Amino acid sequence: MKAPGKGADPRRFKSQHDKEQWKKLQALPNLIYTDGQAFSLWRDGELEGEIATVNGDIATAGRKLTADGSLVALFDNFLEWYPIAPRRPKQLAEMVARLCRLLRDETTEQLALGNPALTSLASEWRDLLFPLASDEQFADGYAQTVTFGLLLARARDIDLDQGIDEAARTLVGSHSLMGTALRVLTQATEQNNTLSTSIATITRVLSVVDWPKISKGDASAWLYFYEDFLAEYDPKLRKATGSYYTPPEVVDTMTRLVDEALRLRFGRPTGLGDPKVTVLDPTMGTGTFLLSVLRRVASTASAEWGEGAVPGALKAALERIVAFEVQLGPFAVAQLRVLAELADLGLPTVPAKSLDFYVTNTLANPWVEETHLGGLYEPISQSRRQANEARRNDPSRSSSATHPTKRNQRAKVDGLRPATRAHSTLHPSTSSCRPPSGALALTSSTSTTCTCTSGAGGPGRSSIITHQTMTPASSATSRSLDS
């Protein structure tokens, strides 16, 4: 609703406030602009039909004010709107990104206004996960967590029509961390209608998402989903977090080289499928490397013992795969991708909560004092405790070395995440930087140098250790590594 005389075409507005408002609101799929005299209907930033006007001056006409059929048709069109289900993963990613951006911006505004519910929630969230997160970073995390929590619910065929809280409670049964995060983040704001427009719109739009139809049974449908999401949501954030993902062909080659090294250099005849090999992904992203490892394990089991051995080999491998991720968006996508891949490989009944995937900052101090915020937060607290315990008790899970750069130093100070994702290449056998005894090292570098970690998985065990470096990818057009 704009001031009388302003008009109903936001593309013509001159003030900075109006321009910024339109930039945010054009993400809405069903929106009416009016100054009382003129009315316009907008769908995803596009004008629907013509701008309708009333007959007479709203300030003086009184009961003589009339409207023709075009205004009635405009309101009918607005009220009869129903979300259109996206048909392709990229289309879904772009649609979700626009709505997530609207929620982030609204959250930022409410925090700036000192909204009590959000201010308290942000404080608790910092205590639990990200101590030095700014309001803008919390708003981003809030928006992505709510959006991907709802998307995860729909991917698991959970009905959103009964409300977010009910959907979150159901999601807790299969994805306890994401379900709890969704419930925690929306419960307080729902009680006082904070962010109601954004959250209600996201919920209604996602309620029609039919993931089986979108994916068409293809386990790789999630492959570039998060990267496509970030490209629309916030390209600058994509660059700042280094969210550029490795082409599967490169990942599969790296995984094959690791598998061969385990067989030939470490005496593990089944490579990544060996019961004494532990795989750690310290920056999981959307799980591309983990999927490649699982496929390699399945291929080995099939070749050695036949197809019937594959489910058992995969189930055993899951007990030796550990992954960390600091952002809940890619964390949720990784869970979905891994579960879909396991089903495709012949292991369809794995609960998400059985995966050793943790939301944590790999570079954070695992000895930090725990914060207790009550029962509702317990699954999130438990995930953090388990991640810290894993890194404290197993040196290979907390010894990722980093090459210092200015951006990396800032990431460590902020306590949030590296400036870019790690870039992994097989440790060259000719290098003077040798892997520690009992461990196979993967360097994570776009440069030619690396730093070896200290410690290994323990006597008789081999650990896949990833070193991290924060140098930016050499080409902005190529998809860099997922972890």
**pLDDT value at residue 331:** 85
Q: Which stretch of DSSP H or E encloses residue 332? A: helix 328-345
Q: How far is CA 196 from the centre of its chain?
A: 22
What is the C-alpha separation between 439 and 25, in angstroms, rounded? 53
Which residues in the chain show pLDDT less than 70? 128-132, 176, 188, 191-192, 219, 241-244, 353, 364-388, 390-483
The domain spans of the chain are: 10-79, 89-216, 245-469
**pLDDT value at residue 321:** 93
Q: Report if pTM > 0.85.
A: no
Maximum distance among all Cα pairs of the chain, rounded to whole angstroms: 91
What is the C-alpha separation between 75 and 79, in angstroms, rounded? 6
Half-sphere exposure of 437 (CA within 13 A, CB side): 3
List 278's β-bridge partners, or say none: 463
List 54's β-bridge partners, or say none: 67
**pLDDT value at residue 79:** 93
What is the C-alpha separation between 151 and 103, in angstroms, rounded? 15
What is the C-alpha separation between 346 and 361, in angstroms, rounded? 32
**pLDDT value at residue 436:** 36
**pLDDT value at residue 219:** 67
- The 3-state DSSP composition of the chain as helix, strand, coil percent (nearest 5) reads 50, 10, 40
Q: Are strands 38-43 and 46-55 parallel, antiparallel or unpaired?
A: antiparallel
Closest CA to 237 of 314, 136, 369: 136
At 93, is the secondary structure helix, strand, or coil? helix
What is the C-alpha separation between 16 and 376, in angstroms, rounded? 42
Total residues belonging to the chain? 483
**pLDDT value at residue 452:** 31
